[in-house]
Structure 1
């Protein structure tokens, strides 16, 4: 089951993305969510299938949400997760000399 998906980023929250079926665009996204999300900024389109891997999301959950509710909201990672993924060199830049 392949789906053509459009991905929008939020102008209000870095790392927050909205996945929608390209054919539906934003028609199935609730008004309240769009209000909180801000004016969606189109990032790119992507073909999704169960055998695909996404960096921060479970592909099966994304496809399920697209099917059932017409959208998937990707929340930004917790702030401490950003720190865990920083390269050691960046972390050492903050060490006193």
Structure 2
């Protein structure tokens, strides 16, 4: 499982990230996805291994996606929901909710 993974953010879609195995190689990504994603902006490179802590996915799931498709697309919507809910609570003069409390609203 040890391999380098390159991470890019979307210039069109807020909180959207594309993980690939070769730097700046997007020829295997479906054209519709690339059109929606926009021009990728390089964010970072990291070494993927079994003990690596990742957000929203396990190292095994990421490795499987990279093996099968050659990429993984991550879209972080929960942060936006959390932000919107707490913005409304602030507007109403209420204290912000913690992440665990917010999760209860969406289940």
Classify the TM-score, shorter chain.
Answer: 0.7 to 0.9
C-alpha separation in 1, matches of 2:13 and 2:45: 20
TM-score w.r.t. the length of structure 1 is 0.77
What CA RMSD, in Å, does the superposition of the two structures yield over aligned residues?
Answer: 2.5
Q: Comparing both chains, which one has the higher relative contact order based on Cα–Cα distances under 8 Å and sequence gaps of 6 or more?
A: 1
Taking a change above 3 Å as real, the CA distance of residues 81 and 40 of structure 1, as seen in their structure-2 partners, is: same
Q: Which whole-Å CA distance do the structure 1 matches of 2:73 and 2:39 have between them?
A: 14
- Secondary structure at the aligned position of 2:77 is classed as coil
**In 1, Cα distance between the equivalents of 2:30 and 2:73?**
12
The TM-score with structure 2 as length reference comes to: 0.71
Q: Is the Cα–Cα contact under 8 Å of residues 17 and 75 in structure 1 kept in the other structure?
A: yes
User: Where do 5+ consecutive residues of structure 1 fail to align?
Assistant: none
In the alignment, what sits opposite 2:72? Answer: 72
Q: Which runs of 5+ in 2 are unaligned?
A: 95-107
Aligned residues: 92
In proportion to residue count, which structure has more helix?
2
